Amino acid sequence: MSSAAQQTKQQVAELGDKYKYGFVTDIEMERAPKGLNEDTVRYISAKKGEPEWMLEWRLGAFRRWQTMKEPKWARVHYPPIDYQDAYYYAAPKNTPLKQSLDEVDPKLLETYNKLGIPLSEQMALAGVAVDAVFDSVSVATTFKEKLNEAGVIFCPISEAIRDYPDLVKKYLGTVVPVTDNFFATLNSAVFSDGTFVYVPKGVRCPMELSTYFRINASETGQFERTLIVADEGSYVSYLEGCTAPKRDENQLHAAVVELIALDNAEIKYSTVQNWYPGDEEGKGGIYNFVTKRGDCRGDRSKISWTQVETGSAITWKYPSCILRGDDSVGEFYSIAIANHFQQADTGTKMIHLGKNTRSRIISKGISAGRAQNTYRGLVSVHGKAANARNFTQCDSLLIGGECGAHTVPYIESRNSSTRIEHEATISKIAEDQLFYCLQRGLGQEEAVALIVNGFCKEVLQQLPMEFAVEAQKLVGISLEGSVG
Amino acid sequence: MLDIKNLHVAVNGKEILKGLSLRVDAGQVHAIMGPNGSGKSTLSYVLAGRSGYDITEGSITYNGEDLAALPPEERAAKGVFLAMQYPVEIPGVTTMMFLKSALNAQRRSRGESEMDAIGVLKSVRAKAATLNVSEEMLKRALNVGFSGGEKKRLEILQMALFEPKLAILDETDSGLDIDALRLVAEGVNGLRSPSRAMLVITHYQRLLDYIVPDRIHVLAKGRIVAEGGKELALELEAKGYEQIVKDAA
């Protein structure tokens, strides 16, 4: 076992007494009763040992949520979700630390192997701190010391609520208000855990921060909450990657991510998401209703979203930037791949409030099988945003004749000095391209992966190195069986 | 090496090749000449295994094996190379990356170990120099923005890199000026080998001034209508296809 894993094990052992049944080896879940009411919210809050103010915050959100309706405007179709027929809290009673790779779900291992990253190596990845979210409770945090030295706080949000209440109170819900939307409000009421990052003034975070999520409990909604604050002049790069083993039941996932960049600060947030998309007939798969938003609160601040979305049965996700500070910059680089029966409705919002704000949107949508892929984006320039600039490029690639690609750009400008450019293309993988690759010895799937990776190149280049390699392979894996 | 017997090929239900027979031995260079629409490109595609080219009758035997039974990528791994008339563009994929992926795919298929990036780079550079393929070209996306000459040179570079047993050159001379033609021909001649067979498909006699074939076959209306030595090309040039086809009938 790697030293990182040992360190994790030790930390988990230390946490052990917090769990009722201590530190034993079988995986049993400790759950709140099915359904959602005020008692569920109280149960979660009590389980996390939260202060009163946090409980009140959650209850406020819950009461609000009860008055809200699920949004229907996205181009996604799914049977009605029975919110009373799900569990809202599941914590491993014990920590399922594996002694060897033999104990790991072979499907998961297969995926890791295809991606070329064995689990053991992932944990030991040099310079990458791994805060493994195993279901809802963060059970492990590593590389803490190094971050401590730099003054960076990187911990489960439940810990931050206890240990850094002032910071959490100051920033939580200030980018995505409790009342924002149906799913975000639900998350605010029942979020189980997530990640908190605070980078102090002038600090360049000494390593890429990374969280690997894994959904493990069947029929357990996942409500992660992430809050990242980059104080003046600081820089942080955060990597989020996800895998999930196969499931038959649809699983609801409604995360909220809030980013705040103060003056001269920069946040780079990268996601590789490959949750279970459902089988080839479209059965099962995860519903991913995520609210991700960054606030360039300070002047000359910058927030950059990069996402590679290959998983989930349904993706409803619009990582956005509020360009509040003057001269602030927002970027959105996205690859969304939908195969088989997957449905993706994803894009971004760039809200220009400050002067000389700039935004850049590069979206690459790939549809295969009978999937539907929609880019939905808003560029909004407010009256005071003099000299705001936006460049948008939306490219869609179709593989086969039964899939669909849709581009829905919304552009609003209330300032005459604005410059907005929008380019969109739609293309198919041509038979002659494929034949050319085959003639040179590439297999069908390798050829598709190569062509698609070429198509996505501008976005892949934005990913940190460790993720770029994984993402390239993932692109290929996601499209297996899409041709021929 | 290659033995085609009574080959009938249909595209979208329309018969293009109508009983073509042809035999090319190792070490030989054969030319296929013929007017437009005679089935020259169909022959090259069917040998390479392009989908949509259906063999309705006859056989293609390659080194004792039924070539038609193999998917295109396996044919490539077994040494069939087609230098295309219109090399395609693949945006975002650098030429070098493409060469490495293709070479290693072939090696894997043959049960050989993969070459690392440095090994491939060395091998490519050595070949690139003689074909006047610049380092800058190798860094660009495959064929994207390449001139006609650059595309054809890159095809020959690939042929040199993959070291095929059977090389088919489909109208490699089309769109080339005389200097580019000479360069490409030199590249091809440099690859002539006792263990390699080549099938040079061309409309014009011009290419055969530079790549001198052992044998020339005239293809018309889906069949070989005339055969001969290299002097046949000159006769064709003088008389034109129409007369030769008439004479043969």
Nearest to A435 among B50, B97, B158 (CB): B50
Q: Helix or strand or coil: residue B177?
A: coil
Mean pLDDT, rounded, for A244-271 = 82
Flag the least confident range among A121-130, A276-285, A412-421, B237-246.
Answer: A121-130
Write the single-letter amino acid at B17. L
Task: Supply the pLDDT for residue B110.
Answer: 95
% of residues, chain B, pLDDT over 90: 78
Q: Helix or strand or coil: residue B19?
A: strand
A191 within domain boundaries: yes
Q: pLDDT of A221-243, one tens digit each?
A: 578 899 999 999 999 999 887 54
Task: Supply the pLDDT for residue A204.
Answer: 96
Beta-carbon-side half-sphere exposure of residue A348 (alpha carbons within 13 Å): 34
- Strand A389-398 and strand B215-220: the pairing is unpaired
Mean pLDDT, rounded, for A335-360 = 93
Q: pLDDT of A49-62, one tens digit each?
A: 899 999 999 999 99
A483 within domain boundaries: no
User: Are residues A245 and A111 in contact, defined by beta-carbon separation less than 8 angstroms?
Assistant: no
A126 within domain boundaries: yes
Task: Supply the pLDDT for residue B11.
Answer: 95
* Terminal Cα distance for chain A, rounded: 42
pLDDT at B171 over 80: yes
Task: Supply the pLDDT for residue A97.
Answer: 45
Look at chain A and report how many structural domains it folds into: 1
Query: Which residue of A lies nearest to B46 if distances are taken between CA atoms?
Result: A439
> Inter-chain contact A454–B88, Cβ cutoff 8 Å?
no
Query: Which residue of B lies nearest to A455 if distances are taken between CA atoms?
Result: B92
What band does A330 get if pLDDT is binned at 50, 70 and 90?
very high
Query: Which strands, in side-by-side order, build the sheet including B53-62?
Result: B14-24, B2-11, B53-62, B65-66
Task: Supply the pLDDT for residue A91.
Answer: 65
CA-CA distance, A75 to A237, in Å (whole number)? 32
Mean pLDDT, rounded, for B191-210 = 92
Task: Supply the pLDDT for residue B180.
Answer: 85
Nearest to B84 among A436, A441, A457 (CB): A436
B157 in contact with chain A, both atoms CB, cutoff 8 A: no
Q: Helix or strand or coil: residue B31?
A: strand
Mean per-residue pLDDT of chain A: 80
Query: Which residue of A lies nearest to B110 if distances are taken between CA atoms?
Result: A441
Task: Supply the pLDDT for residue A269.
Answer: 96
What band does A200 get if pLDDT is binned at 50, 70 and 90?
very high
Write the single-letter amino acid at A193. D
% of residues, chain A, pLDDT over 90: 47
pLDDT at A386 over 70: yes
Structural domains in chain B? Answer: 2-248 (3.40.50.300)
pLDDT at B123 over 70: yes
From B12's Cα to the closest Cα of chain A, the distance in A is 15
Q: List the domain range (segments joined by +) for residue A231.
A: 3-478
Write the single-letter amino acid at A337. I
pLDDT at A206 over 80: yes
Report ipTM for this prediction.
Answer: 0.96
Q: Which of A433, A436, A452, A461 to mutate to test the interface with B (most CBs of B within 10 A)?
A: A436
Flag the least confident range among A4-18, A149-163, A408-422.
Answer: A4-18
A484 within domain boundaries: no
> Inter-chain contact A437–B87, Cβ cutoff 8 Å?
no
Task: Name the residue with higher pLDDT: A14 or A453.
Answer: A453
Residues of A with CB below 8 A from B73's CB? 438-439, 441-444
pLDDT at B128 over 50: yes
A393 in contact with chain B, both atoms CB, cutoff 8 A: no
Nearest to B93 among A430, A438, A450 (CB): A450
Which residues 88-147 of B have a C-beta within 8 angstroms of A? 88-93, 97-98, 101-103, 105-106, 109, 141
